[in-house]
Amino acid sequence: MQKTIAKEVVFEGKGLHSGKNCQVRLLPGYQNSGIVFKRIDIPEDNIIPADFKYISDSNLCTTLKSYNSDAKIFTVEHLLAAIKGNDIDNIFIECNSSEIPALDGSALEFDYIIKRAGIYSLENSFKKYIVIKKEITVKNTNGSSITLSPSNEFQLKCSIEFPDPIGQQSIEFKKPLTEVYKDVCDARTFCFFKDIKKMKDNGLAKGGSLNNAIVIKNNKILNEKGLRDTNEFVKHKVLDLIGDLALGNYNLLGSIEAICPGHKINRFILNKLFSSYDNYKLIDESQQSLTSKVRSGLITNNI
């Protein structure tokens, strides 16, 4: 069955890039409503579906924009990761400013908020899935790439490479996305101290601090308590990937291999995936042959 939250919940905080305070209200959705943002500080044309076709920018965060106005919502990826990680299909998100709060820089506090609201199953509804039919790859000039391929189980592999102290990190999962999310939800965003001035000169990172990001300077972690996990950097890239892929609207069934992923290439793979029906098939759990396999985290590719 499709799921939503059981009751309304409100939270607020400062945006990582805008530095502006934003109050967010999460409201239960209904069957097939999907994930929808609403800028309540804008009187009209203020609805923005959480759909990759509405992505207007992917520089250091994922930004969605209304087709009919200049209404935008920045830095949606961590909240979306928490929504999909809790297996939620339908939810309304009202915001009184342009950027989702950074909170602690991960999805952990969003997770607490969603669990406080509770999860509700919508009766007589069927969860929707996208099955990868053939291997597709996108590559960027910076060496990053993402490959989607058919698989009898959900798989995700991610590797990154940065200057020390990050170096090379890789991680691999063979379990349902909701279980992957549990392993990565507390991984925080990160940056190098040398890049902060450039970001601020470009109007970004105005709300950034050691309370909502890992900062690296001269090969050292500036955060007093250090890392939450030795693989926190690559885990955060997985978290971002989960959030960005949520903009594909469906629960993805297949294998993902990401090399040095970021918001831009996450967007590219969605564009490539949906560019041809040869790449995928849409199904739902009403199909008798699918139901048992979905519930166990498995699915055959010839459905």
- Give Cα 218 distance to the centre of its chain: 30
Helix (H, G, I), strand (E, B) or coil at 301: coil
Confirm whether 17 is a catalytic residue.
no
Nearest to 74 by CA among 96, 99, 38: 99
Block residue for tokens 């908020």: 113
Nearest to 266 by CA among 120, 146, 125, 107: 146
Considering 17, 78, 236, 263, which one is annotated as catalytic? 263
Tokens of 79: 């909240």
* Cβ count within 10 A of residue 293: 17
Block residue for tokens 């903009």: 247
Cα 236 from Cα 268, distance rounded (Å): 19
CA dist 67 → 45, 51, 53, 55, 72 (Å): 8, 12, 9, 10, 10
Catalytic residues: 263
